[in-house]
Amino acid sequence: MGTVTVTIAGHRYRLACEDGQEEHVAQLGTRLDETVTELRAGVGEVGDQRLTVMAAMLTMDRLSEAEGRISALEEEIGDLREGRNEALDRCEALEGEVSEVMERASERLSRIARAVRGTAAS
């Protein structure tokens, strides 16, 4: 089990994390401290607890927006996949039709060739 010390709003916190996650946890701490600093600059000194709650709410708002965008993108991806599958189905159908047309054309050409040979032989 790893440990990381992060500084948020001037206070140091020692956090436990899974081995290998130390850098990630440190980066999260840095981002949270930046959010607290940003809020402090905007609202002034309102107390550490209130500032921390405001930072958590801002973070949750950002997360909610990101989840909404992800959901919209997943829906768009689903629509694109459905469109792709429909296009592939149409392509397969067209390939079958083209194959049939070519087969009929080949048969006509064979009949014409036989007729020409029969006329030439006469």
Amino acid at 42: G
Distance CA 45, CA 43 (A): 7
pLDDT confidence of residue 45: 80
Token representation of residue 75: 């829906």
For the four alpha carbons of 104, 110, 112 and 118, in that order, the dihedral sign comes to: negative
User: Can you give the length of the chain in residues?
Assistant: 122
For the chain, the structural domain boundaries read 2-121
Asked whether the beta carbons of 20 and 41 are under 8 A apart, the reply is no
Q: What is the pLDDT along the chain (122 residues), one digit of tens a residue?
A: 999 999 998 899 999 999 999 999 999 999 999 999 999 999 888 888 899 899 999 999 999 999 999 999 999 999 999 999 999 999 999 999 999 999 999 999 999 999 998 887 66
Q: Please choose, from the candidates 5, 74, 64, 8, the residue with its C-alpha nearest in 3D space to the C-alpha of residue 37.
A: 8
pLDDT confidence of residue 97: 95
